Structure 1
Amino acid sequence: MSKMLYSAAMSVDGFIAGPGGDMSWLTGYLGPNPLVPELIASIGALLVGNRTFRGDDPHRGTPAEGKAFGGGWSGPQFVLTHNPPATPVRDVTFVTDLGDAVSRAKAAAGGKYVNIIGADVARQCLEAGVLDEVLVMVVPVMLGDGVRLFDHPGGATVGLERVGVSEGSPATNLWYRVAG
Structure 2
Amino acid sequence: MTKVVTGATMSLDGYIAGPDESGFDLLFQWYGNGDVEIPSASPAVPPVRLSAASAELVRREWGNAGALVVGRYLYDMTNAWGGRHPIDVTTVVLTHRRPDDRPEDDENFAFVTGGIEAAVAKARELAGEKDVIVNGGEMARQCLEAGLLDEVGVELVPVVLGAGKPLFPSLASTPVEFEGPTAVVQGTGVTHLRYRVKK
Question: TM-score range, shorter-chain basis?
Answer: 0.7 to 0.9
Pick aligned residue for 1:125 from 133, 143, 148 = 143
Task: Look up the SS of the partner of 1:36 in the other structure.
Answer: helix
Distance of 2:30 and 2:58 partners within structure 1 = 13
Task: Look up the SS of the partner of 2:62 in the other structure.
Answer: helix
Q: Select the structure of larger CA radius of gyration.
A: 2
TM-score, normalisation: structure 2: 0.78
Structure 2 stretches lacking a partner, 5+ long: 34-49
- 1:149 is matched with which residue? 167
AA of the residue aligned to 1:132:
D
Pick aligned residue for 1:79 from 83, 93, 97 = 93
Shift of 1:158: 0.7
Give the conservation status (yes or no) of the 8 Å contact 1:21–1:55: no
- Residue deviations 1:127-162, cap 9 Å, x none? 110000000010111111221112225632111001
Task: Look up the SS of the partner of 1:130 in the other structure.
Answer: coil
Distance of 2:198 and 2:97 partners within structure 1 = 33
Distance of 1:122 and 1:173 partners within structure 2 = 18
- 2:187 is matched with which residue? 168
Alignment of 1:42 onto 2:64: yes
Task: Look up the SS of the partner of 2:162 in the other structure.
Answer: coil
How do 1:1-180 residues align onto structure 2 when only pairs under 5 Å count?
Answer: 1-22=1-22, 23-30=24-31, 31=33, 32=50, 33=54, 34-55=56-77, 68=85, 71=86, 73-88=87-102, 91-97=108-114, 98-152=116-170, 155-162=173-180, 163-180=182-199
Structure 1 stretches lacking a partner, 5+ long: 58-63
AA of the residue aligned to 2:101:
T
* 1:65–1:141 CA distance, 2 compared to 1 (3 A): farther
Shift of 1:110: 1.3
Distance of 2:10 and 2:132 partners within structure 1 = 19
Distance of 1:18 and 1:56 partners within structure 2 = 17
> How many matched pairs?
171
- Residue deviations 1:87-145, cap 9 Å, x none? 11861111112221111101111111111113101000011100000000101111112
Deviates more, 1:169-178 or 1:89-98: 89-98
Shift of 1:20: 2.4
- Percent identity between the aligned chains? 39
> For the aligned residues, what is the CA RMSD?
2.1
Distance of 1:119 and 1:56 partners within structure 2 = 15
TM-score, normalisation: structure 1: 0.86
- Could you say which structure has the greater relative contact order, defined with CA pairs below 8 angstroms and 6 or more residues apart? 1
Task: Look up the SS of the partner of 2:123 in the other structure.
Answer: helix
